[in-house]
């Protein structure tokens, strides 16, 4: 009987009762209501009332100069590349440890991508390595605020000003995050956000272009509207509209904007909950991580933490692979992240062969833990305890 009871109350068996996913999209409860209003309005295509509400939210909440809602963060970056007049022969500095969407928009305009390494203490771009990459052909620096933690924007903007370069902030993960009191996305000449279902605020797929340099505002709106001055026409600024520049169909529908606005109305509520989860991870893992020589997320004094993700940096790829499998066997879905772009099958032949050791280390060793609004304290404790037990087994 004692053996039977031990089996019955085996915590490993209990852990198998349900799966803990890496991510679960959170719905506020008002999305369907807003979509219904959009449907009743008779305006389902882009740039309607909900699009304006979303754009106005960002302009008023964060004092961004001009915002344009897009179908994705990739779209926002593609508009940025057009606005900067990126052409064949130009060079654009981009971190290697990022998603392909950071580089593709500039590559599509003909630029050569010059990859920069990550910091040793954080997966973001190594700001001190950038200057050595600047040549007479360099036109722009694209920075990624990894995990919503700011790059050192003073260093980057000083370089840009000294060498006459543009700065684009890929703030895909960085909503409601700050650098020295300034909102991310609002410091460089242009910024881009994502509302993909894995982000803090979501609408399935969606993005936002932030225009901080007044010189780009008028043309950005034209490119956004398929190369026409349609927006100016509807404001009564011109008596007809036509094709005046290059552009594409970058606008999301009103249904997407309506969904997004329901999320924005609950931003502080969502952020508070995600921060509670992030801080619980940190408090429960910091002692263990120090003992095991594992790196936890680092937030510099100049940055805030928007709790986009919680990650560990392990010793090597074998340790991470084994740990992912151990967690999977306990029905916990933890995942790695980016693969160094400079070593990708598509671009490795175009890379200048410089070693980028920090980027490669994060490629091999970084592990992301489940973090989503509805992650319960009980399930989070299960993740932590299973992680500790599994890692102890892996290391032994």
| Sequential pLDDT tens for the chain (396 residues) | 333 333 333 445 454 579 999 999 999 999 999 999 999 999 999 999 999 999 999 999 999 999 999 999 999 999 999 999 999 999 999 999 999 999 999 999 999 999 999 999 999 999 999 999 999 999 999 999 999 999 999 999 999 999 999 999 999 999 999 999 999 999 999 999 999 999 999 999 999 999 999 999 999 999 999 999 887 777 778 777 899 999 999 999 999 999 999 999 999 999 999 999 999 999 999 999 999 999 999 999 999 999 999 999 999 999 999 999 999 999 999 999 999 999 999 999 999 999 999 999 999 999 999 999 999 999 999 999 999 999 887 766
Over the range 62-84, which residues count as b (16 or more CB within 10 Å of their CB) and which as e?
A: bebebbbbbbbbbbbbbbbbbbb
Tokens of 153: 């924007």
By DSSP bridging, strand 166-170 and strand 190-194 are parallel
Of 318, 302, 336, 354, which Cα lies nearest the Cα of 96?
354
pLDDT given for residue 396 in this prediction = 62
Tokens of 24: 């679960």
Query: Are 331 and 302 in contact, with CB atoms under 8 Å apart?
Result: no
| CA atoms of 158 and 163, how far apart (whole Å) | 9
162 contacts: CB under 8 Å, gap ≥ 6: none
Of 146, 129, 76, 128, which Cα lies nearest the Cα of 106?
76
Single pTM value for the model: 0.93
| CA atoms of 362 and 124, how far apart (whole Å) | 10
pLDDT given for residue 271 in this prediction = 98
- Quickly list DSSP for 37-73: HHHHHT--SSSSHHHHHHHHHHHHHS--SEEEEES-H
Kindly list the structural domains of the chain, giving each domain's residue range(s) and its CATH number in brackets, ordered by start. 2-17+267-395 (3.90.1150.10), 31-264 (3.40.640.10)
By DSSP bridging, strand 178-179 and strand 166-170 are unpaired
Q: Burial-class residue 291 by CB neighbours within 10 Å (0-12, 13-18, 19+).
A: exposed
pLDDT given for residue 232 in this prediction = 76
| CA atoms of 157 and 166, how far apart (whole Å) | 9
Tokens of 167: 């700065």
Query: Are 260 and 203 in contact, with CB atoms under 8 Å apart?
Result: yes
| CA atoms of 388 and 395, how far apart (whole Å) | 11
| CA atoms of 306 and 245, how far apart (whole Å) | 38
């Amino acid at each position: 009987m004692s053996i039977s009871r031990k089996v019955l109350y085996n915590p490993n068996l209990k852990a198998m009762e349900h799966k803990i996913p890496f991510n679960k999209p959170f719905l506020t409860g008002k999305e369907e209501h807003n979509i219904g209003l959009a449907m009743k309005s008779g305006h389902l295509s882009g740039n309607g009332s909900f699009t304006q509400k979303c754009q106005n939210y960002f302009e008023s909440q964060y004092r961004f100069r001009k915002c344009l809602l897009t179908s994705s963060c990739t779209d926002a970056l593609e508009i940025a590349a057009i606005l900067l007049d990126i052409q064949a022969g130009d060079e654009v500095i981009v971190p290697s440890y990022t998603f392909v969407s950071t580089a593709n928009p500039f590559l599509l305009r003909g630029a050569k991508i010059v990859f920069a390494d990550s910091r040793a203490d954080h997966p973001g771009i190594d700001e001190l390595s950038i200057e050595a990459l600047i040549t007479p052909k360099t036109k722009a620096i694209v920075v990624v605020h990894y995990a919503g933690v700011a790059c050192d924007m003073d260093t980057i903007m000083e370089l840009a000003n000294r060498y006459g370069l543009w700065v684009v902030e890929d703030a895909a993960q960085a909503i409601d995050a700050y650098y020295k009191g300034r909102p991310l996305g609002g410091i460089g000449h242009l910024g881009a956000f994502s509302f993909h279902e894995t982000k803090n605020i979501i609408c399935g797929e969606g993005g936002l272009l932030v225009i901080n340099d007044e010189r780009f505002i008028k043309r950005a709106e034209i490119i956004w509207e398929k190369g026409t001055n349609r927006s100016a026409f509807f404001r009564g600024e011109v008596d007809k509209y036509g094709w005046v520049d290059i552009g594409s169909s970058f606008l999301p529908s009103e249904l997407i904007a309506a969904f997004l606005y329901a999320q924005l109305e609950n931003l502080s509520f969502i952020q508070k909950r995600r921060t509670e989860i992030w801080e619980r991870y940190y408090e429960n893992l910091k002692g263990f991580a120090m003992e095991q020589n594992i790196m936890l997320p680092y937030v510099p004094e100049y940055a805030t933490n928007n709790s986009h993700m919680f990650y560990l940096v392990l010793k090597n790829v074998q340790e991470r692979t084994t740990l992912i499998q151990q967690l999977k066997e306990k029905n916990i879905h933890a995942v790695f992240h980016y693969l160094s772009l400079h070593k990708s099958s598509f671009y490795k032949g175009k890379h200048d062969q410089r070693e980028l050791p920090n980027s490669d280390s994060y490629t091999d060793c970084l592990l992301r833990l489940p973090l989503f609004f509805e992650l319960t304290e009980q399930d989070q404790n299960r993740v932590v305890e299973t992680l500790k037990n599994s890692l102890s087994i892996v290391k032994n």
